[in-house]
Structure 1
Amino acid sequence: MTGASVPEFTWRRLAATNFPMLCGWLAQPHVRRWWNHEFTPEAVERDFGACLRGEEPGEDLLIFADAEPIGLIQRCRLHDFPEYLEDLVKLITIPAEAASLDYFIGDPERVGRGLGPAMLRAMIAATWLEYPLADSIIIPVAAANRPSWRALEKAGMRRIAQGPMTPDNPVDDGHHYVYAIDRPGRRIAGPGRPDYGIPAPI
């Protein structure tokens, strides 16, 4: 972060008591544009309650910067969500233990200040520890969402593929970029390789 110290990022699993705040974040125009998620209490309970109760895989993580809640990161093993993979596997090969992240900063006052890349760097580093089998983190992002994919690039991820995927928001054309980062010390693919996930020759 230019001209400012990097905050300390912490996180914990989303709790039901956080749902009102989450409703407010999902209603923010900068979040609605890309997440396209209903933000009524009933919709939030329906779509986030199952993970909270352990009925679905993955994690919904409330992110804090210097102890202030700023956003949400969803983290999962990609292969735990086969319906999500239907489009992605047409573009790249997915390693069996590949992880993925989805994310937003909810407070509009905190957007555009460099928090996104710093938050992602912290979560990437934690994922190598907390998902010890994961060789890679793979994140598809709408090509039109430049702030999001620029944050991924600043966090150290690289674009490895692009192509059509079902958009979260039907106003989008569905063109996506796919970004990836490999576990440090275990480089399993090169930029732009169509066979991502297949070990490269040593």
Structure 2
Amino acid sequence: MTITWRRVRPDDFPLIRGWLTEPQVRRWWNHETTPEAVERDFGASARDEEPNQDWLALLDGTPFGLVQRSVFDDYPEYRDPLSLIVEVPPGAMSLDYFVADPGQRGQGLGARMIVSMLEKTWAEHPLAPCVIVPVAAGNRRSWRALEKAGLRRVAEGDLEPDNPIDPPLHVVYRIDRGETDA
């Protein structure tokens, strides 16, 4: 079973919209799911009009998850609050991700997806010194996947939660270029 990647395209928006309505994805991603909202949130990236990148994760050619990848320097509104908790070096990158199908969760696929994207990130961004991922403290599945993928917890602190029902406490994970992956 091989994981490959494809950039999100506008014709993927109905698929992503469906994924965003899945209860576990909806819980942690907290996106609006109207066609207009999905276009608003993913369109600029799909058209290369925004610096972040949205990637479909494919398992043997079938989409199963999504990863958003960005450089913190391109988004000071996220970098600056995080910098109050942990050092964010120039060029540091971040990932946000989900496995869409509940039947594919709990089997290590999320960690494999993260490792695969880390390998892709190191190859495509040779100056990136590290990947830093803040996660809502209550999202234990997410931070466990990061740990299995080789990231280490480096900090905890308050950040604006993606979902307003969550408290602000986040755990922050990091992996540096050259560290051993899972």
Identity of aligned residues (%): 55
Residue 37 of structure 1: CA displacement?
0.4
Which of 131, 137, 154 is equivalent to 1:137?
A: 131
Give the Cα–Cα distance (whole angstroms) in 2 for the partners of residues 126 and 60 of structure 1: 13
Alignment-derived partner of residue 89 in structure 1: 83
Alignment-derived partner of residue 166 in structure 2: 172
Which of 8, 12, 16 is equivalent to 2:6?
A: 12
Is 1:40 the counterpart of 2:34? The answer is yes
RMSD: 1.2
Alignment-derived partner of residue 100 in structure 2: 106
Q: Deviations over 1:52-100 (max 9, x none)?
A: 1222101000110111100100001111111112320110121101111
Alignment-derived partner of residue 48 in structure 2: 54
Equivalent pairs, count: 180
Q: Which structure carries more helix by proportion?
A: 2
Amino acid at match of 2:8: L
Larger Rg: 1
Runs of 4+ in 1 over 2 A off after TM superposition: none
Give me the TM-score of the superposition, normalised by structure 1. Answer: 0.87
Which of 157, 182, 194 is equivalent to 2:151?
A: 157
Query: Is 154-163 or 78-87 further displaced after alignment?
Result: 78-87
Alignment-derived partner of residue 17 in structure 2: 23
Is 1:77 the counterpart of 2:71? The answer is yes
Give the Cα–Cα distance (whole angstroms) in 2 for the partners of residues 117 and 160 of structure 1: 18
Give the Cα–Cα distance (whole angstroms) in 2 for the partners of residues 88 and 25 of structure 1: 28
Residue 182 of structure 1: CA displacement?
0.5
Please state whether the residue corresponding to 2:78 is helix, strand or coil: helix
Q: Deviations over 1:102-134 (max 9, x none)?
A: 000112221112100111111111111111001
Q: Structure 2: which 5+ residue stretches go unaligned? A: none
Please state whether the residue corresponding to 1:60 is helix, strand or coil: strand
Which of 138, 141, 153 is equivalent to 1:147?
A: 141
